Amino acid sequence: MTKTQRKAASSAADAFDRHYAAIWGEARWQNSLRPALEQPTRYACLLNRYAPLDATKEKISSPNTEEVPLKLPQPSGSDAALNLPLNLVVRQTKSAEDGSPAPSSEPFPAPVSAPGQLCSHWNLDAASALVAQLLDVKHGDNVLDLCAAPGGKSISLAQNIWVQHHADDSEARAKVSEQRPLQIGTLHSNEVDAPRQRRLADNLRSYLPKALFDAQRISTLRIDGTYPKAHYELVVKTPNGTVGYDKVLIDAPCSSERHIIHAHANARLGGGEAPEMVNWRPGSSKRLAETQVKLLMTGLRAAKVEATIMYATCSIEPTENDGVIEKMLSQVEKERKKGMLKWTVRVGFGAGHGDVALETELEKSWAERTKYGWIVLPDHPGGGRWGPLFFAVLTKTSTA
């Protein structure tokens, strides 16, 4: 690398820091948030309910740590009656100072599938599992994951759709299996990029029962969600016609600043510069936001009235988060006034009315509020070190 190139790289890194310090405050950015983002990503372990849970717990155990179930917050009125077993696990170790449990940085083993068996677990940031939980997928729901690769969130969402197919006997499985007619449910996982879509399909088949693919209850799609009429291709087809989705997740492509920070640090260790940082520009978020708004509008159009829609990114850039929600609300209102839409959007839990108990728990242990949603950041006082992940909960409501 020439002196000129090195100077340009250093200038980009300085501009990056100035930009995010202006957003989050100089003191927080330098002393808390940036150092937390520099740390290795902490992973939780999602246990696959379609494989035997006890065998999985044995497989992931370590003599150096304690594996502890992580109970995620859930919306009031959620389908708690099913009482499904907890299937998210974190690692804790003993703190040398006071003996109290502390988050462990020891990774979980990589999932490996055995012939004829489904994969037992998926390692992910617990903030991703939180978003899937807060979408409140119920047994028998029709669910769309619009930007699904590599598949972790789809696998999380699938855990509640087909309780009758869970590997372990449980009160929940017995209760659901007795229902007549048996609720079926659908999961459509979409990815426009061909290689990523193939990887997504392989991952889903490694984790979810073959019978559900054979019955076309699970499909991996390859549709460009930014196309204005993409929702026509996404809808659920039934013998009685097409229907919209009960739940939609849009985990949109974004700036992924934590990845940029990690790439920059790793390149510097080797005496080089990361292209992710060198090519970073403050204006990149505006272009991304245009794509994100299109994806969100497609997700809303594909949802049925009264459906819940979750918009999420792993960005810390407000333009890609609250900014996208604001632009979507403006577009929906314009189209509604022109008579193009017979629905509108409410923002927030409880179809826009709020959920005090849930929001109190989120603020205490997980996330901080933004104008329209929430953001999980690794310097949150709760100490989980999860994120970053922004999310906003939306409800599509009729105006007819």
Q: What is the pLDDT of residues 121-135, one digit of tens each?
A: 999 999 999 999 999
- The residue-averaged pLDDT of 303-307 equals 97
- The residue-averaged pLDDT of 325-343 equals 97
* Residue, of 338 and 93, whose pLDDT is higher: 338
Mean pLDDT is lowest, of 99-108, 160-169, 229-238, for 99-108
- List, in order of start, the domains of the chain with CATH numbers: 3-43+125-398 (3.40.50.150)
147 is in an annotated binding site: yes
Burial (CB < 10 A; 0-12, 13-18, 19+), residue 127, is buried
107 and 64 in contact (C-beta within 8 Å)? no
CA distance 313 to 182: 35
303 and 248 in contact (C-beta within 8 Å)? yes
Angle of CA points 272, 276, 282, to nearest 5°: 125
Give yes or no: 314 in active site: yes
149 is in an annotated binding site: yes
- CA dihedral 212→213→216→218, nearest 10 degrees, is 80
Mean pLDDT is lowest, of 22-26, 170-174, 263-267, 382-386, for 170-174
299 is in an annotated binding site: no
- The residue-averaged pLDDT of 49-55 equals 93
Pairing of strands 374-376, 389-398: antiparallel
251 is in an annotated binding site: yes
Find the catalytic residue in 45, 119, 254, 314.
314
Contacts of 294 (CB under 8 A, 6+ apart): 225, 226, 228
233 is in an annotated binding site: no
Residue 201 to residues 110, 120, 222, 278: CA-CA distances in angstroms? 19, 17, 10, 33
CA distance 216 to 400: 33
151 is in an annotated binding site: yes
